[in-house]
Chains A and B, each alone.
Chain A
Amino acid sequence: MATTEEIRADLADIVNEVAGVDADDVQLDKSFVDDLDVDSLSMVEVVVAAEEKFGVTIPDDEVKNLKTVGDAVAYIERAQG
């Protein structure tokens, strides 16, 4: 079972690859839109890459609730059950 920190680190790599954001900036309290400048289309790319990486499903309706990196990590942890 991956730890919160492992998921955050993997997610940071994805955000880096998709949106060119420095992986060190991708911390739990950061907002995708306001702090990291990840727009809604890039967010779709992050979500699809995360689904593949973590073996979870993140429906379109859920994506808008994932405002911070912490929201996304928590969702992935729950989805991995």
Chain B
Amino acid sequence: MATINAPAGAAHARILGLGVYRPSRLVPNSEVVDAIDSSDEWIQQRSGIRTRRFASPEETVQMMSVAASRQALERAGITAAQVGCVVVATVSHLLQTPAIAPAIATELGTDHAAAFDISAACAGFCHAVALGSDMVRGGSARHVLVIGVERLSDITDMTDRGTAFIFADGAGAAVIGPSDVPGVGPVVWGSDGEQYDLIRQREDWRDVVGSDQEPGSGVMPHLTMQGNPVFRWASFTMAKVAQQALDAAGVSAEELDVFVPHQANMRIIDAMARSMKLPEHVRIGRDIADQGNTSAASIPLALDRMMLEGDARSGDTALLIAFGAGLAYAAQVVTVP
């Protein structure tokens, strides 16, 4: 039997640089209230959202991804040619195939980097960070570019009271590479298919198209969400997962500097923080107020803002947790780049 070479990976991995792209158009609550017969006050009370950003036709999934990635690469001090793999987490790249990752990898100027998309909805970014970290340590790639990107405005039903005011657009990227010390803790992740229908694309594409005998609706499928059960799962079950990620990393709440949960809803963030009994000094990402829920992009967007505003500093210890449709979730402790 032949002896097979084992891949040679780095001892440890960390996030080397973070980049984001925020679409140019700021959309206040006043623009979305009429279609859902609601008010600015109700939306703020229900979600903490004051504004969100919607992408223009030119701000495509690819364009936003490339912009965020260039910033991440520059901050990491890594060239595109050094990137061995590009992982894109998204649910709003509207081609079933091919994935958007190869197009992004090529536009960035990588040297034929491996590139693929993952579908883990709002949990996508933390899934991608876990994959990237494992690839660096496993030797599959020396530098991995992970991207969370969404244009949820394309698949949001603006007349749906449960979701129209929540979802938004944007992109975030992180370069993960080798490190002398651990910079990405063990991932705690999982899924719960019993709650598959809580957050989902309402229509199967076949229902949209239909057949010659029974024509479909021809209407773009939209996201739908059952708010209260999602709130319960996210606020309480996910608080336990966040604690498990801290335990797995061997980091106490006292040692934590920053908590960046998926920016799903301010009420979830508040309930989660209460449930976790985080110490006062832990600074919490609350980008959702201005940015809305950008699904896979929300954690890098929130962390980037905290870094710009001085709430997160290079070297800080941060707990990330992402959760959403599937249901799927992933959490890990990382060192802020």
Contact = CB atoms under 8 A, between A and B. Distances in A.
B231 A44 contact: yes
Interface in A25-47: 39-41, 44-45, 47
B229 interface: yes
Nearest to B265: A41
A44 B228 contact: yes
B244 to A, nearest CB: 18
A70 to B, nearest CB: 22
Nearest to A43: B228
A39 B232 contact: no
Given A39-B46, A41-B267, A45-B271, A60 B228 contact: yes
Nearest to B268: A41
A60 B233 CA distance: 11
B241 to A, nearest CB: 15
Chain B interface, DSSP helix/strand/loop, else mixed: helix
A48 B228 contact: no
Interface of B: 45-46, 227-229, 231-232, 235-236, 267, 271
A23 interface: no
A63 interface: yes
A48 B232 contact: yes
Contacts of B235: 44-45, 48
Contact of B45 (A39, A44, A47, A48): A39
24 contacts: A39-B45, A39-B46, A40-B227, A40-B228, A41-B46, A41-B227, A41-B228, A41-B231, A41-B267, A41-B271, A44-B228, A44-B231, A44-B232, A44-B235, A45-B235, A45-B271, A47-B232, A48-B232, A48-B235, A48-B236, A60-B228, A60-B229, A60-B232, A63-B228
B197 to A, nearest CB: 13
Contacts of A44: 228, 231-232, 235
A45 B45 CA distance: 15
Report the interface size class on chain A: under 10
Contacts of B45: 39
Interface string A45-65: 101100000000000100100
A60 B198 CA distance: 12
Contacts of B229: 60
A57 to B, nearest CB: 12
A44 to B, nearest CB: 5
A46 to B, nearest CB: 11
A35 B170 CA distance: 40
Contacts of B228: 40-41, 44, 60, 63
Contacts of A39: 45-46
Nearest to B229: A60
A63 B45 CA distance: 21
A27 B231 CA distance: 26
A62 to B, nearest CB: 12
